[in-house]
Amino acid sequence: MSRGTYEPGSHESTLTMNLDWQICSRARMTRDARFDGKFFIAVLSTKIYCRPICPVRLLKESSVRYYPTAAAAAEAGFRPCLRCRPESCPGTPAWLGTSSTVSRALRLIGESGLEDGGVEVLAEHLGIGSRHLRRLFLRHLGATPIAVAHTRRLHFAKKLIDETSLPMNQIALASGFGCVRRFNAGIRKVYNRTPTQIRRLARQKEIQSQNQYLFRLHFRPPYHWEGILAFLAARATPGLEVVELGSYRRTISWNGRDGYFEVSPDPGRDALVVRIEFSDPYSLFFIIERIRAMFDLNADWEAIVKNLRTDPLLGGPVEADPGLRVPGCWNGFELATRAILGQQITVKGANLLAGRMVSRFGKPFSAAKGLTHLFPQPEVLADAKLTNIGLPSARAETIRALARAVCDGRISFEGVVDSDAFLHRLCEIPGIGKWTAQYVAMRALAEPDAFPVGDLGLLRAVALGSSRELEQRAESWRPWRAYAAMYLWRIASQRSASRKQSVLSPDPKGDHCKYRFASARLN
């Protein structure tokens, strides 16, 4: 059996991933969307690899092979299916069935590919040798780091060909090929067609304006869009973010360029529609990857729910609202600043302060409805008079200290390899404690087991009196405590809304909409 394959009849594999051919076979036969992106099907006769949801005629088991990643299938000599488009499937969860080193490497490849010096530099950044990193990738993913990065680059190029009207020379640069000749050769070799022929097959009907792009980002169902949107809406910074009519919109800044994006659900598909306006097409790969992380689109709900649905407290909410995800963030510094603003005050109060900060210190922006500013840069906040917006002096100094640490390079939210070391450095800043650090780990570092144990909402949801009791209670939720936190916050929010409803009841004696206080009181 070749490296990286799952062959019918075999109970062993050179891979350590928790996937066997019988599971793959059942998912293929039923076209189960929950397995989309978790493995790929290679057809021996056509030398094409497909997603589990591919609508083509089902073949006999002896005619197919299974691969854990698209890169592994490509390395074995198979090319992507033009019908089910493997480049559009949800990403393989970086933590699923891999070592922590491979997980971190995949995160770094997703942020910048291997453009910063190749495998050697990547391995050095991870603190291991390049040969050992290659062995780990072959063992866990069935392909080398170079092959994984190359497949991702090709897939993104195909996505740009299909879903945008960008000229081919810009697609070549945006997808990291460096020159049009290498781009043309790479596409022809993998897809057996020229980029122009592929674009004709896509039959794109929507004409896009200059610097405006539309993408569909797929996920494995279920996906609780209303839940993630409600979470973001409650914390939306005025002028920076807008949640309306079932969509989320915000301003963004990257490499000195400004723009915005809007995200909404795609009716009838397991996907989100993303509209981006940005003047630098070469930044699209980074923007798309950041949006995928922000909306937690690579999560494997079936793996997460196994642990949570057996808990007496979480079982009911998990079944009632399946698919709740952990919202990420656009910018780690912004999120950490917002977390500091929210210390010891309500979410609504923190939103008010954040809006004042953005209005006073952010760069003006006017390209989209409801969006007026960009978030202030660390260089601006490092010396800003934040007490002028009503911020207590201690918290103002904490934000300035964080901004100075980012400016002088002591703290960087990009390319984090050792999250524990990063959080330790973060907590060295006066005014940043364990709650803030864990909240940042949860949303900025995408740590699935992060848990802001001292959060008042979490304590109320579980009806416990101390952080120590909550921490002990949360041990059974590992390694998915971040997802448990999302459900607990939702429980607390629903209870609060229920209390408000009972407190405010119509006055039957009044002709107008008067209210009287019931016996209950708002907290």
Q: Which residues are catalytic?
A: 50, 455
* Strand-pair category, 79-80 with 48-50: parallel
Q: How far is CA 424 from the centre of its chain?
A: 24
Strand residue runs (E) in 144-246: 212-218, 241-244
What secondary structure, in 3-state letters, does 451-476 show? CCCCCHHHHHHHCCCCHHHHHHHHHH
Query: Nearest 5 degrees, angle CA 456-CA 460-CA 465?
Result: 80
- Look up residue 99 and give its amino acid: S
- 42 Rama class: left (phi>0) / alpha (psi -120 to 50) / beta: beta
Q: Compute CA distances 204 → 157, 174, 209, 216, 271, whole Å.
A: 15, 19, 14, 13, 18
Q: Return the structure tokens found at 339.
A: 């977390």
Q: How far is CA 290 from the centre of its chain?
A: 6
Q: Compute CA distances 373 → 154, 236, 322, 370, whole Å.
A: 35, 13, 35, 9
Check residue 6 and report its DSSP letter. Answer: B
- CA quadruple 496, 499, 501, 504: dihedral sign: negative
Contact 166, 155 (CB under 8 A): no
Q: Return the structure tokens found at 340.
A: 């500091």
Query: Nearest 5 degrees, angle CA 153-CA 36-CA 105?
Result: 45
Q: Return the structure tokens found at 179.
A: 């020159």
Calpha distance 198→184 (Å, rounded): 11
Q: Return the structure tokens found at 142.
A: 């069935």
Give the DSSP H/E element, type plus range, for residue 373.
strand 371-373
- Look up residue 181 and give its amino acid: R
